[in-house]
Amino acid sequence: MIEIISKTKSVCPICLKRIDANKIVGKDGYIYMQKSCFEHGDFETLIWEGDLKSYLDWAKLSKEGLSPTNTKKSEKGCPYDCGLCENHKSESCCVLLELTNRCNLKCPVCFATAGEGVEKDLSLKEIETQFDMLLKRKTRKGLFNIQLSGGEPTLRDDLADIIALGRKKGFSYFQLNTNGVRIAKETGYAKYLKDAGVSSVFLQFDGLRDSTYKILRGIPLLDIKLKAIEYCAKVGLGVVLVPTVTFNVNEDEIGAIIDFAQSKHPAIRGVHFQPLSYFGRCELESRTKITIPRMLKHIEEQSFNKIKASDFSGGGAESPYCSFHASYRRMSDGTFKSLPKKQDQSCCDVSNARNFVSRQWSGPSIVGNTTSCCSTKDPFDEFIENTIRDTFTISGMVFQDAYDLDLERLRRCKICEVDSEYGMVPFCSYNLTNIKGEALYRK
- Read off the pLDDT of each residue in 39-54 and give the average, rounded to a whole number: 97
In 3D space, the residue among 259, 268, 330, 328 whose CA is nearest the CA of residue 299 turns out to be 259
Range of lowest pLDDT (138-152, 268-282, 356-370, 395-409): 356-370
- Read off the pLDDT of each residue in 96-119 and give the average, rounded to a whole number: 91
The yes-or-no verdict on residue 368 having pLDDT over 50 is no
What is the model's pLDDT at position 236? Answer: 94
Burial 264-274, CB ≥16 within 10 A → b, else e: ebbbbbbbbbb
What is the model's pLDDT at position 344? Answer: 45
Radius of gyration of the chain (CA): 21
Please report which confidence band the pLDDT of residue 137 belongs to, taking 50, 70 and 90 as the band edges.
confident
**DSSP-derived 3-state class of residue 256:** helix
Helix (H) or strand (E) holding 223: helix 222-235
What is the model's pLDDT at position 417? Answer: 96
What is the model's pLDDT at position 365? Answer: 56
Please report which confidence band the pLDDT of residue 373 belongs to, taking 50, 70 and 90 as the band edges.
very low
- Read off the pLDDT of each residue in 174-181 and give the average, rounded to a whole number: 98
CA-CA distance, 398 to 244, in Å (whole number)? 10
Q: Report percent pLDDT > 90 for the chain.
A: 74
CA-CA distance, 70 to 382, in Å (whole number)? 40
| Cis before 220 (ω within 30) | no
The yes-or-no verdict on residue 201 having pLDDT over 50 is yes
Helix, strand, coil fractions of the chain, as percent rounded to 5: 30, 25, 45
The phi, psi pair for 278, rounded to 5°, reads -95, 75
How do 244-245 and 336-338 pair as beta strands? unpaired
The yes-or-no verdict on residue 224 having pLDDT over 90 is yes
C-alpha separations of 318 from 4, 92, 402 in Å: 23, 9, 19
- CB 16 within 8 Å of CB 435: no
Please report which confidence band the pLDDT of residue 350 belongs to, taking 50, 70 and 90 as the band edges.
low
The yes-or-no verdict on residue 139 having pLDDT over 80 is no
- The full set of domain ranges for the chain reads 1-57, 94-353+390-397
Looking at per-residue confidence, does 325 or 368 come out higher?
325
Range of lowest pLDDT (160-169, 275-284, 406-415): 275-284
What is the model's pLDDT at position 132? Answer: 95
Please report which confidence band the pLDDT of residue 324 belongs to, taking 50, 70 and 90 as the band edges.
very high
Q: Which fold has domain 94-353+390-397?
A: TIM Barrel (3.20.20)
Looking at per-residue confidence, does 65 or 191 come out higher?
191
- Bridge partners, 141 (sequence order): none
- CB 437 within 8 Å of CB 402: no
C-alpha separations of 384 from 331, 352, 388, 425, 439 in Å: 15, 17, 6, 36, 45
The yes-or-no verdict on residue 348 having pLDDT over 70 is no
- CB 395 within 8 Å of CB 273: yes
Please report which confidence band the pLDDT of residue 429 belongs to, taking 50, 70 and 90 as the band edges.
very high
Q: Given CA atoms 97, 188, 204, 359 in this order, what sign does their dihedral have?
A: negative
Average pLDDT across the chain, whole number: 90
Range of lowest pLDDT (141-155, 261-275, 339-353, 426-440): 339-353
The yes-or-no verdict on residue 240 having pLDDT over 70 is yes
The yes-or-no verdict on residue 55 having pLDDT over 70 is yes
What is the model's pLDDT at position 70? Answer: 85
CA-CA distance, 437 to 431, in Å (whole number)? 10
What is the model's pLDDT at position 367? Answer: 44
DSSP string, 304-345: TTSS-GGG-B--SSS-GGGEEEEEEEE-TTS-EEEPPPPS--
- Read off the pLDDT of each residue in 87-116 and give the average, rounded to a whole number: 92
Tell me the pLDDT tens digit for each residue of 265-301.
Answer: 999 999 999 999 998 888 887 778 899 999 999 999 9
